[in-house]
Amino acid sequence: MTFEQKMKNLSVPQGRIDVVLDTDAYNEIDDQFAIAYMIKSDEKLDVQAIYAAPFHNGNSSGPKDGMEKSYNEIFKILKLIGKEYPVFEGSTGWLQNDKTPIVSPAAEDLVARAKNYSPDKPLYVVAIGAITNVASALLIDPSIKDNIVVVWLGGHSLEFHDTREFNMAQDFSAARAVMGSGVPFVQLPCAGVVSQFTVSRPDLETYFKGRNALGDYLADNTIRAAESYAAGTPWTRVIWDVTAVAWLLNDDNRFMMSRVIPTHMPNYDGQYNLCPNGDFMRYVFYIERDQLMTDLVKKITK
């Protein structure tokens, strides 16, 4: 891929595009918003497949269980929307290093699917969990890096004191494999950037509830999760994953601002270092919260 083509692929795409989504959908409440937002943005996004990503926290007993629960949650959201897409199970564990893939149906599908694209007509890969599946696909067949663009919600801002963010810290090896692969890569950092994109109980009750079954599910799910720890105090909840989808819809910087910078890869100590190959990536540094929330409400409740 030429430098000029790579810079073009690091820009917001024009026209209708093909996209796949890699999601740890059962991890918390924001993946469900992102899945719905992507599917309901069909004026620009043509969803080709959805991959279940592994995760491990209080909602799972381990990465395999997290992936399987995410797989089932994807179908729950699709049923609420009334749509069907190919859905593939992903990795059951984390990469042991940044050179060795984990073969899974999701990784194999991405490899096969990417071969139908090209640098001037790439497949867009939106990843909103640990990036194990995408890393494995790139390790299985490094040549697909020229045919895809990876948009990932992961890591923290460059100004933050570390980058032990959930998606990145679960599989630092996967993050290093993707960010060092040479694939066109867009990062939406969590703390310090996407942390601006919050929703409150009044937002959910005013704009989502009572509009349709999907809106009710998203609102009730979010309120229930927040109230479980907020204990009746005022709260907002970050719905992180929506922003990764929104980058593809970011014509004229309407939802966020970004810049091209030298690629900053994470070390295993949770700090960034410059990528040794001198590559470049696109880095989102500001979210236009109200504009994006307005579009999300319109799409979810239509």
Q: Please state, in angstroms and rounded to a whole number, the distance separating the CA atoms of residues 77 and 22.
A: 14
Q: Please state, in angstroms and rounded to a whole number, the distance separating the CA atoms of residues 196 and 219.
A: 19
The one-character DSSP state at 184 is -
pLDDT higher than 90, residue 230: no
Structure tokens of 241? 């994953």
CB 249 within 8 A of CB 292: no
**For the chain, how many residues are written?**
302
Structure tokens of 71? 């797989």
For residue 281, the cross-strand partners are: 261
Looking at residues 125-151, what average pLDDT do you find? Answer: 98
Q: Place 150 in a pLDDT band, splitting at 50, 70 and 90.
A: very high
For residue 47, the cross-strand partners are: 19
* 233 CB neighbour count, 10 Å cutoff: 8
Predicted pLDDT at 232:
82
Would you give the end-to-end CA distance of the chain in angstroms?
Answer: 40
Question: pLDDT tens for residues 72-81?
Answer: 999 999 999 9
SS (H, E, C) 89-100: CCCCCCCCCCCC
Question: pLDDT tens for residues 118-128?
Answer: 999 999 999 99
Question: pLDDT tens for residues 3-31?
Answer: 999 999 999 999 999 999 999 999 999 99
Predicted pLDDT at 302:
87
3 state SS of 149: strand
Predicted pLDDT at 229:
87
Q: Place 231 in a pLDDT band, splitting at 50, 70 and 90.
A: confident
pLDDT higher than 80, residue 171: yes
Give me the chain's average pLDDT, please.
Answer: 97
Q: Half-sphere exposure of 123 toward its Cβ, with a 13 Å CA cutoff? A: 22
Q: Which domains does the chain have, with CATH numbers?
A: 3-197+239-300 (3.90.245.10)
Indicate the pTM of the whole model: 0.97
* 262 CB neighbour count, 10 Å cutoff: 11
CB 254 within 8 A of CB 293: no
Q: Among residues 214, 222, 172, which one has the least CA distance to residue 301?
A: 214
